[in-house]
Amino acid sequence: MCLIHAGSPVKAWVKTAGVWRGYEGEFGMKIYKQAITAVGMVILLTAVTAGYAADPTKGAKLYNQHCVDCHGTNGDGQMPGVPDFRRTQVLFKPDTVLSETIQRGKNVMPGFAGVLTRDQINDVIAYLRTLH
């Protein structure tokens, strides 16, 4: 979509099936606004993903405060039913899925929503991925 022509009666140019079409008036304005929103969303998403890199060192501290009692110093599990993080298939799930589970809890494991922030949980996950 081309935004340069926004000042002319044609408010938005859209390429459909290889052909550029100009849209005028209110409809053009609507498409123009949608384009701006889309661009904004991309910038926002990029900022969110790029803005925070999970830190396994901070994660280690948090792990030793909140997780070590059940999961053990090496992530090997301190009681029956606790998965062994050193067997990497336990952590084959994407960070977002692990984060959800850690926030909500699972069976015996308590949820950490409200205890740890999402960033802190991502730090801990980054640390878990170093245990093998």
CB of 110 to ligand HEC, least distance (A): 6
Whichever of 36 and 82 has its CB closer to ligand HEC, that residue is: 82
Please choose, from the candidates 76, 74, 63, 73, the residue with its C-alpha nearest in 3D space to the C-alpha of residue 121: 63
Of 35, 60, 102, 131, the one binding ligand HEC by CB under 6 A? 102
70 near ligand HEC, judged by CB under 6 A: yes
- Only one of the segments 1-9, 21-29, 41-49, 75-83 lies at the binding site for ligand HEC (rule: CB under 6 A); that segment is 75-83
- The b/e string for 101-112 (b: 16+ C-beta within 10 A; e otherwise) is ebeeeeeebeeb
Distance between CA atoms of 74 and 130, rounded to whole angstroms?
10
Other C-beta atoms lying within 10 Å of the C-beta of residue 23: 16
Q: Is 22 or 55 the residue whose CB approaches ligand HEC more closely?
A: 55
- Site residues, ligand HEC (CB under 6 A): 66-67, 69-71, 81-83, 90, 93, 98, 101-102, 106-110, 112, 124
